[in-house]
Structures are given as structure tokens and as C-alpha cells.
Structure 1
């Protein structure tokens, strides 16, 4: 018998729903209309995406040339170190909240977006926008392939803003890299100049000492009346018997030493060459990029929100549910009044 009662209840249920179908349809229509109103008037959002990686060797060649000049012969910096260093700096600059906020706040797009809003509302909008921008590795195990996304309320604007931000971050990273390089070059040039000056000072002291020794020997030779060499066979020429060369040869030797250039070591001329190379180096930041594209900033073909079809389906579904609930409530109230 329970089965018969269940069937009766089911028939009563269906009868109630059919009786109140107008209520169900009305509620469903209202919720669907509200959903449609939201779906077709809500602010759209489109997201542009780019995938970037380390710059090519050609893109950092000028920067690398500068670091090569700073390297010792046995410690040449690999170009991959420069590529990775510039790219890391680019990622750090790109991911900086302050850099993002500063860039976005200065765009014409944002200024138009916040026109007429209070300062607090502007700050909130900017904060929400910055938090929607993502900079993450494509693969957690591959750190040099990074996906960057930026949303806006239309596709072309999202693409343009992302492209401009990547270029600006690249320029900032390159400028910082060159600033570091130029600081190191300046320090290296000063160090080389000091070392060369020290070498010349030592060479000059050596020459003056030699001149003094010859002048002393010349004076002795002149007093002794020795004008020509009087060295015995096999005699070793030393400082204390240099006068035996005679005043003639000693005078010629003295004149030669005073007029000849300083005798400097090979190390000095190597330093001179390095200094000349550093002075001739011309930084060219315009030729350097801090990243290269694996996928250029895209023009989004589908929007993130609102999902109109999904919103309409959900609106109709919720409307149906609310309509059924409303039908049962109305029926219960009517039955209560009838038996009251």
C-alpha cells in the first residue's frame, strides 16, 4: 500500500506543478530576464597573453662586449650569464607591484576608466587590476619560459597595454644593466690608470737612480783622467767600477738614458691596451632587449567575462527552481486557508 500512496503523492505533485505552471513560468521569465540584463550590460573583460624567454645572444651582444672588456683572459664571462642576468632583472621589474601600478596609473586607458571617481575608488580599481595581472612560469620546472597576462575591457586595449608594459620593463632592465656595467667600467678604468701611473713612477725612479749612478761614475772618471775604457780582460762591470768605462762612454750613456723613453714592462702596455679598449667602448642600450618572444602579446579572441550563454542558462535554471518552490509555497498557503 505504501506504493499506492507514493503514486498518489506523485500525481498530486505533478498536478500542483501543472496547476501553478503560470507561477513557475513567470518566476523563470523574471530570473532569466534579470540574468540577461546582467549578461548584456556587465563590463566585459578580455585577457591578452604573451610567453617570453631569455633574450637572444644577438640582442645582448653590445652589453656582452662591455663585460668581455672587464673580464680577465682566463675568466671570460659566458654570454649565457648576461642573457640570464638581463632576463631575471626584466622579470623582477615586470613583477614589481609598484612598477605595475605606476605604469597602469599613467595609461590613458586607466585615466578614462577612473574619470569622475573618488581617490579611494581609483586606488581600489588600480589595486584590483594589478592583482589580476599574472607573471608565472609556463612550466614549474622550466624557469626561463614565462607567461604574462593582462586584462582589459576590450581585446585590442589588453593587447596594446601588455605589449607596451613588456617593452617598458625591458627598457628599464636594460638601463639598469648598463648602469651597472658603466659603473664597473669606470672603476676598472680608474684602477688601470692608477696601476699605469704606479708603473711609470717605478720606472722613473729606476731611471733616476741609474742616472745618479752614471753621473757619480762620470765624476770619478773625470777626476782620474780616464777618458776611454780601461777594463781588464774578464773583468765584470759593476757599479763600483763603472768609472773604468771612461768619461767619453759614460757621457754618451748618460745622454742616452736621459733622452730615451721610460723602459716599461709588458704588463704596462697590456694595461694601456685594456684602458684604450674601455675608453673606446660605446654602450648602445637601444640595440639590447631583455627578453625574446615565444608568443607575442595576443589579440584575445574570446572574452573572460561575462559568459552570456552560461549566465542565461543559470538564470533559467535558478528561475525554474525558484518557480517550483514558489508554486509549492503558494499551494501550501491555499490549502492551509482552505482547511483553516
Structure 2
């Protein structure tokens, strides 16, 4: 009798091989348990969907201000300080830094309210300071977008006043 004669029935005693017929038979014997588990999982999913509130996130990308956007501020500093006025690149960095700090403070304030609001600011590209991604979570898409635009405008006006 050779080695190939030992495996006449198609089944092997090798522990690394899986007998598919045996596996299917075991699954068939446990079909009631499998069906009950699937039905329970579907019922839980439907129940969650029925009670979960929709949340919509609006995201905006904030980039460094263009030279034209801070030209009047730059001109005023040139008149006041003359040759010792800061360079445009320093002003751009200063403006975006103040915006980021002010927006982070607003996000913390909103998070600490009695009814917290989810506003966040983070780096859009990991490892790079700019651009910034600001996000707001609202109950509807329109509400999230409107509120985020309002918070950006509010922060922008505050930074402009400070400068």
C-alpha cells in the first residue's frame, strides 16, 4: 500500500488541510444558531437607525491670506514703522497664527457650554502648519454650513480688530 492509497476517500489526516465537506456539515448543523444571530444583528442595526440622530459635518479649508487681503494692513504698518515694518510673509504668518489661536479658543468655549457644540480646527495636511481644516457638526447640512461660516466670519472679524 502506498501513500496515495491511504487517501482513497478524499479525506486526509494532515492537520494543515481543511476538510470542506466536514466544515459544511458542521455549519449546516448550526444553521439555527447562525440564522438567529443574523436576525438579532439586523434587529439591532434597525433599532439603532431608528433612534440615532443625524449629524452633519461641514468642513472648510483655511489657507494663508493673500498679499492683497492684507495689503491695507501692510501699508499702515509701512507708514507707522517705515523700513523696520514687518515683511509681508511675517504678516501672513502672524494673521493665520492669530486666526488659528482665536478659532481654537472659540472651539473650547463651545465645547464647554451647557449644550456643547462640536467645532474643531486641525492641520489639513499632517506635518504642515497650513492649510487648516475647520469643521462644525450640526443637525442638518444647512445648519452645519451656516454655523461654520458664521464662526469663521466672527473669528476673522475678531482677528482683524486685534490687528
Q: What TM-score does the superposition give when structure 2 sets the normalisation length?
A: 0.71
Q: Counterpart in 1 of 2:41?
A: 31
Residue 60 of structure 2 aligns to a residue whose secondary structure is: strand
User: Are the equivalent residues in 1 in contact too, given 2:107–2:120 (CA < 8 A)?
Assistant: no
Deviation string 1:282-308 (CA, Å, 9 cap, x unpaired) is: xxxxxxxxxxxxxxxxxxxxxxxxxxx
More helix by share: 1
Deviation string 1:26-50 (CA, Å, 9 cap, x unpaired) is: 3421221121221343122222111
Q: Counterpart in 2 of 1:89?
A: 98
Measured after TM superposition, the shift of residue 104 of structure 1 is 7.3
Q: CA RMSD in A?
A: 3.1
CA distance in 2, matches of 1:23, 1:76: 77
Distance change in 2, residues 1:20/1:71 (3 Å)? closer
Deviation >4 Å, runs of 4+: 101-105
User: Are the equivalent residues in 2 in contact too, given 1:103–1:165 (CA < 8 A)?
Assistant: no
CA distance in 1, matches of 2:54, 2:123: 27
The structure whose RCO (Cα within 8 Å, separation 6+) is larger is 1
Q: Counterpart in 1 of 2:56?
A: 46
Residue 64 of structure 1 aligns to a residue whose secondary structure is: helix
Query: Based on CA coordinates, which of the two structures has the bigger radius of gyration?
Result: 1
Unaligned runs of 5+ in 2: 1-5, 7-11, 14-18
Q: Following superposition of structure 1 onto structure 2, how do residues 1-340 of structure 1 map, counting pairs within 5 Å?
A: 3=13, 10=22, 14=25, 18=28, 21-72=31-82, 74-96=83-105, 99-102=106-109, 123=114, 125-126=115-116, 129-130=117-118, 133-177=119-163
CA distance in 2, matches of 1:152, 1:166: 15
Unaligned runs of 5+ in 1: 106-121, 178-340
Measured after TM superposition, the shift of residue 92 of structure 1 is 0.6
Deviation string 1:89-140 (CA, Å, 9 cap, x unpaired) is: 11110011xx2254578xxxxxxxxxxxxxxxx73x51xx44xx43222234
Number of residue pairs matched? 147
Residue 131 of structure 2 aligns to a residue whose secondary structure is: strand
CA distance in 2, matches of 1:161, 1:66: 32
